[in-house]
């Protein structure tokens, strides 16, 4: 009997672990009947970015960009284009081109991801992220909803915040 319990209990734990979490359906999908919405065409108007379908995003983005921007993936640290990038200019959303961060707010966090203590006013939004057994603050582009990274309260002055951003989610416009 004890031997049987040893087998059954880990199996049950495995079942529960697999049933939750990362594959949850996004709550913002499917709210508008697509047959009544005009298709989004290029150039995309400012208020149309949030209406692009996932198929349209797949056409616009590389596989790596899609994984991070649309599926909230994370690039490996010290592999991105901008973690050790020091030019003056503006970092823009790789998905829609909206300016997000000024180089003057970038700092070396030592994490291997580009880090900023402040976003350009109104250009990013945050929400609570409870995946991976942690409670974190997810940050995304306010125009297209593209996932950028996470915000942590351990950054430098003057804000004390650290916006930990994937290079893949950014493009750079030099001054």
Segment interacting with Zn ion (CB under 5 A) among 77-85, 98-106, 122-130, 164-172 = 98-106
Spatial distance between the Cα atoms of 40 and 48, rounded to a whole number of angstroms: 7
DSSP 168: G
Spatial distance between the Cα atoms of 115 and 171, rounded to a whole number of angstroms: 14
Closest separation in Å from C-beta 21 to Zn ion: 26
Strands (E), the chain: 89-93, 99-102, 106-107, 115-116, 124-129, 136-141, 147-152, 162-165, 170-174
Please tell me whether residue 141 binds Zn ion under the rule CB under 5 A: yes
Please tell me whether residue 69 binds Zn ion under the rule CB under 5 A: no
Please tell me whether residue 144 binds Zn ion under the rule CB under 5 A: yes
Return the number of the residue (138 or 156) whose C-beta is nearest Zn ion.
138
Spatial distance between the Cα atoms of 124 and 63, rounded to a whole number of angstroms: 23
Segment interacting with Zn ion (CB under 5 A) among 18-26, 33-41, 95-103, 117-125 = 95-103
**Among 92, 96, 119, 165, interactor with Zn ion by CB under 5 A:** 96
Q: Which 12-51 positions form the footprint of Zn ion (CB under 5 A)?
A: none
Please tell me whether residue 95 binds Zn ion under the rule CB under 5 A: yes
Q: Evaluate whether 52 touches 144 at the Cβ level (below 8 Å).
A: yes
Whether 93 is catalytic is no
Please tell me whether residue 119 binds Zn ion under the rule CB under 5 A: no
| Helix, strand, coil percent content, the chain, rounded in steps of 5 | 30, 25, 50
Segment interacting with Zn ion (CB under 5 A) among 20-28, 32-40, 120-128, 134-142 = 134-142
From residue 51, give the alpha-carbon distance in Å to each of 46, 48, 101, 105, 126: 10, 5, 24, 31, 19
Please tell me whether residue 146 binds Zn ion under the rule CB under 5 A: yes
Q: Annotated active-site positions, please?
A: 164
* Interacting residue ranges for Zn ion, rule: CB under 5 A: 93, 95-96, 98, 141, 143-144, 146
């Amino acid at each position: 009997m004890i031997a049987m319990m040893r087998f059954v209990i880990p199996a049950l734990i495995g079942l529960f672990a697999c049933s939750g979490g990362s594959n949850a359906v996004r709550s913002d999908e499917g709210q508008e009947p697509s047959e009544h919405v005009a298709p989004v065409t290029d150039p995309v108007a400012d208020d149309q970015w949030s209406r692009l379908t996932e198929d349209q995003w797949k056409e616009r983005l590389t596989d790596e960009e899609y994984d991070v921007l649309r599926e909230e993936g994370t690039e490996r640290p010290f592999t991105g284009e901008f973690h050790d990038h020091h030019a003056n200019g503006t970092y823009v959303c790789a998905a829609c081109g909206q300016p997000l961060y000024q180089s003057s707010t970038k700092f070396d966090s030592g994490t291997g991801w580009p880090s900023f203590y402040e976003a350009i006013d109104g250009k990013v939004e945050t929400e609570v992220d409870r995946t991976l057994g942690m409670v974190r603050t997810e940050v995304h582009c306010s125009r297209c909803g593209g996932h950028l990274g996470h915000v942590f309260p351990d950054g430098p002055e003057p804000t004390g915040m650290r916006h930990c951003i994937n290079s893949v989610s950014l493009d750079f416009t030099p001054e």
